[in-house]
Amino acid sequence: MEERDDLEVKEKTSLNFLERIIEDDLANGRVPNNEIITRFPPEPNGYLHIGHIKSICINFGLADKYGGRCNLRLDDTNPEKEEQEYINAIKEDIQWLGFDWGIHEYYASDYYQNLYEIAVRLIEEGKAFVDSLSAEEMKEYRGTLTEAGRNSPYRERSIEENLRLFEEMRQGKHPEGSHILRAKIDMSSPNINMRDPALYRIKFAHHMRTGDRWCIYPMYDFTHPISDALEGITHSICTLEFEDHRPAYDWATAIDGVEHTPHQYEFARLNINYLVMSKRRLLNLVKLGIVTGWDDPRMPTISGIRRRGYSPEAMKDFIGRVGVAKVEGVVDYSLMEFCVREDLNKRAKRLMVVLDPLKIVIDNYPEGKVEYFEAVANPEEENSPTHQIPFTRELYIEREDFMEIPAKKYHRLYPGNEIRLKYAYYITANSVVKDEAGNILEVHCTYDPLSKGGTTPDERKVKGTSHWVSASEGVSIEARLYDKLFLSENPGKATGNYLDDLNPDSLVIVPDAKAEPEILKARRGDYLQFIRNGYFTLESKESTEGHPVFNRTVTLKDSWAKLKLKMEQE
RNA sequence: UGGGAUGUAGUGUAAUGGUAACACUGCAGAUUCUGGUUCUGCCUUUGGGGGUUCGAGCCCCUCCAUCCCAGCCA
């Protein structure tokens, strides 16, 4: 221990592949002004989910690390699916994570005029044409994965006719689906994305930002690279499924007149086992009313996990631990739980709440007496604040903290056994009161007055300690306990019948416990940690007007449940 | 079976031609005013086969496996 300082702490400098690319580009003067510019380009067609956190952390993180910047760009080129509500939510979620795009908030729709002009220029140069094939015909002409496609019969239209048609498309003179602007690349390319990709389609849809000004909208393969170029993006980082689009990206940034040439790099998206992470499916859960909204605490959306009490720090730590690579893997849910637990353990305020109450009557404690004990908010914290907890003759403890016939290795309350009520007294169980059906209604105990504060003069030890709540002084709260996020039975990505797969794993518990000072405190916000194996969060009143809800954030290692199972098997 | 990518403990990620490692999980033990926390220990790894090299997870060849692509979505 005295040699600590002499130990050479090996600086861990291993870089991920993107950092290596950037450092190499920087070292070789390939970055204009040495300013790394990335972008996070979500389509505002839904709420951001946990998977997006990886992309956000990579793009904003890289910009931070290398002293550049990251633009927020809303990729709004499909007016039928996009909504202002989503834009607001996206911005809130990124900010919650602690990232700031400053003044660099852009919209693909800001570039509609530029894009249009570039398209006209492509037509003039004979590099794009108006195709009048139907969607079905186009598909047929495209060929298959193993067979080359054929040129559209409209491919050789004159430049004049193409120009006229495209202009008419813009003016709304043609119905949706009648014409489409395509790039002339190569119908026999083994890469299907290069078989004369569509550039512009007709859509008589109202756009939330441009209204009815346009009725032709540019496609991703055209919009994205040019938006990147226009914004001076140096490193355009996306997920693996766009690898096949990189040639199209390079084609677009090579168009005459497009000044800046960004480069696209791809990384593996985040998959977490049993977690449903597809905007389409999440939207479905919302539409079908299976959840209360995108921010339902069971949803793996950023707003959902925020409501359950996950912290941005924990999620960023999680992403850091997952790493960045090109391997399509599936991360264990338990790693995310670990990160949340680790963070919450350091900062969560501990409050005692009984979720599944069992009444305890202390026969030798005076009726009507109320005594207060001091509890610390967070034992992990030095000089942690304390608060007073009322103790009375009748209390509630957790139902699982009592067993009439104890299992092996059970050292909580059972007839004849002595345990400690945290911060208060030692009690010993004597007798049990049951109803006709044999359900335990209450347990009668006696307490040791000398054990006040949780220790005794003779320093005898007890093996069990339980949390408790006063029956008369406590407050009743409506609690909804969520175990995990919506999980699928499919360990990889959720598939077809994911709705059947979903295991809500939630239950409603209404504890009988009544007002306690610490519960009132909790109601003002923050983390509420408690219980043997779990952390709980209480939503702040502000964010859930009228819906006081308890959310159990994570299930800790369910060691108790496992032990119980083991004992049952023995 | 066209093209593009990827294979390192159960999972994720390092090792950039020089002793295969870190974290999570799992298992065991110690501590403990909650069977939590904390601490300690253990288990398990380079997809297969060739080649180059004094030396290969890394370079070459080959086989195998997995993922992505046939929207007028992004």
Reported as a single tens digit per residue, the pLDDT across A185-213 is 999 999 999 999 999 999 999 999 999 99
Q: What is the pLDDT of residue A483?
A: 61
A40: amino acid identity, one letter? F
CA of A309 to C1' of B26 (A): 28
A134 touches strand B (CB under 7 A): yes
A481 with A506: CB under 8 angstroms? yes
CA-based end-to-end distance of chain A:
44
CA of A320 to C1' of B42 (A): 27
- As its CATH architecture, domain A28-267 has 3-Layer(aba) Sandwich (3.40)
Q: Indicate the angle between helix axes A312-322 and A50-65, nearest 10 degrees.
A: 80
Q: For strand B, which residues in window 342-371 of chain A come within 7 Å by CB?
A: 342, 345, 350, 352
CA of A13 to C1' of B53 (A): 29
A170 with A216: CB under 8 angstroms? yes
CA of A435 to C1' of B42 (A): 49
Question: What is the number of other CB atoms lying within 10 angstroms of the CB of residue A431?
Answer: 11
Give A459's contacts (C-beta < 8 A, 6+ positions apart).
none
CA distances to A50, A269, A274, A329, A392 from A491, in Å: 16, 16, 5, 11, 48
Structure tokens at A98: 């602690």
CATH of domain A279-349+477-569: 2.40.240.10
CA distances to A77, A127, A136, A378 from A149, in Å: 27, 18, 14, 67
A376 touches strand B (CB under 7 A): no
Which nucleotide is at minimal CA–C1' distance from A203? B72
Q: Is A524 a catalytic residue?
A: no
Q: Protein footprint on strand B: which nucleotides are under 7 Å from a CB? A: 1-8, 10-16, 23-27, 33-38, 66-74
Structure tokens at A172: 């709304």
The model's pLDDT over A125-167, given as tens digits with 9 standing for 90+, comes to 999 999 999 999 999 999 999 999 999 999 999 999 999 999 9
Pairing label, strands A371-376, A386-391: antiparallel
Q: Which of A36-50, A105-119, A465-479, A538-552 has the lowest mean pLDDT?
A: A538-552
- As its CATH architecture, domain A353-467 has Beta Barrel (2.40)
- DSSP letters, A94-121, are HHHHT---TT-EEEGGGGHHHHHHHHHH
Which nucleotide is at minimal CA–C1' distance from A567? B35
Structure tokens at A33: 């002004």
pTM greater than 0.80 (yes/no): yes
Q: For strand B, which residues in window 161-200 of chain A come within 7 Å by CB?
A: 176-178, 180, 190-193, 197-198
Q: What is the pLDDT of residue A518?
A: 27
Residue A563 buriedness (CB in 10 A; 0-12 / 13-18 / 19+): middle
Cα separation, A411 vs A234, in Å, equals: 62
CA distances to A43, A503, A539 from A286, in Å: 18, 16, 21
Sheet hosting strand A534-538, strand order edge to edge: A349-350, A527-530, A534-538, A550-555
Which nucleotide is at minimal CA–C1' distance from A202? B72
Does residue A558 register a pLDDT over 60?
Answer: no
Fold: same for A279-349+477-569 and A353-467: yes
Q: Which of A540, A51, A100, A28 is nearest to A309 (CA)?
A: A540
Does residue A122 register a pLDDT over 70?
Answer: yes
Residue A250 buriedness (CB in 10 A; 0-12 / 13-18 / 19+): middle
A77 touches strand B (CB under 7 A): yes
Q: What is the band of A472 on the pLDDT scale with cuts at 50, 70, 90? A: confident
Q: Which of A21-35, A52-66, A218-232, A372-386 has the lowest mean pLDDT?
A: A372-386
Task: Identify the three-state secondary structure at position A192.
Answer: helix
Q: For strand B, which residues in window 272-311 of chain A come within 7 Å by CB?
A: none
Q: For strand B, which residues in window 482-511 of chain A come within 7 Å by CB?
A: none
CA of A327 to C1' of B7 (A): 8
Which residue carries 């005692």 as its tokens? A352
Q: What is the band of A298 on the pLDDT scale with cuts at 50, 70, 90? A: confident
Question: What is the number of other CB atoms lying within 10 angstroms of the CB of residue A469?
Answer: 28
Q: What is the pLDDT of residue A219?
A: 98
Cα separation, A138 vs A128, in Å, equals: 16
Q: For strand B, which residues in window 219-258 of chain A come within 7 Å by CB?
A: 219-221, 223-224, 240-245
Check A195, A279, A298, A316 and give the catalytic one. Answer: A279
Cα separation, A261 vs A37, in Å, equals: 12
Cα separation, A322 vs A474, in Å, equals: 43
Does residue A332 register a pLDDT over 60?
Answer: yes
Check A150, A164, A203, A269 and give the catalytic one. Answer: A269
A145 touches strand B (CB under 7 A): yes
Cα separation, A264 vs A262, in Å, equals: 7
Q: Which of A38, A42, A37, A39 is nearest to A90 (CA)?
A: A42
Which residue carries 């009743």 as its tokens? A476
Q: What is the band of A478 on the pLDDT scale with cuts at 50, 70, 90? A: low
Domain boundaries, chain A: 28-267, 279-349+477-569, 353-467
Which nucleotide is at minimal CA–C1' distance from A531? B34
Q: What is the mean pLDDT of chain A?
A: 83
The model's pLDDT over A378-414, given as tens digits with 9 standing for 90+, comes to 788 888 888 788 899 999 888 888 999 998 888 899 9
A215 with A170: CB under 8 angstroms? yes
pLDDT average, residue stretch A545-559: 28
CA of A461 to C1' of B31 (A): 14
CA of A327 to C1' of B47 (A): 15
- Give A192's Cβ-side CA count (13 Å radius): 11
Phi, psi of A305, deg, nearest 5: -70, -25
User: In A524-558, where does DSSP find H-type helix?
Assistant: none
pLDDT average, residue stretch A299-324: 91
Q: Indicate the angle between helix axes A50-65 and A17-27, nearest 10 degrees.
A: 30
A17 touches strand B (CB under 7 A): yes
Structure tokens at A331: 């991360």
- DSSP letters, A321-366, are HH---S----B-HHHHHHHHHHHHHHHPEE----SSEEEEEETTS-
Q: Is A43 a catalytic residue?
A: yes
The model's pLDDT over A409-460, given as tens digits with 9 standing for 90+, comes to 888 999 999 999 989 999 999 999 999 999 999 999 999 999 999 999 998 9
Does residue A124 register a pLDDT over 60?
Answer: yes
> What percent of chain A is modeled with pLDDT above 70?
81
Give A465's contacts (C-beta < 8 A, 6+ positions apart).
A419, A420, A421, A422, A454
Q: Is A269 a catalytic residue?
A: yes
Q: What is the band of A105 on the pLDDT scale with cuts at 50, 70, 90? A: very high
Smallest Cα–C1' distance to nucleotide B73: which residue has it? A78
A373 touches strand B (CB under 7 A): no
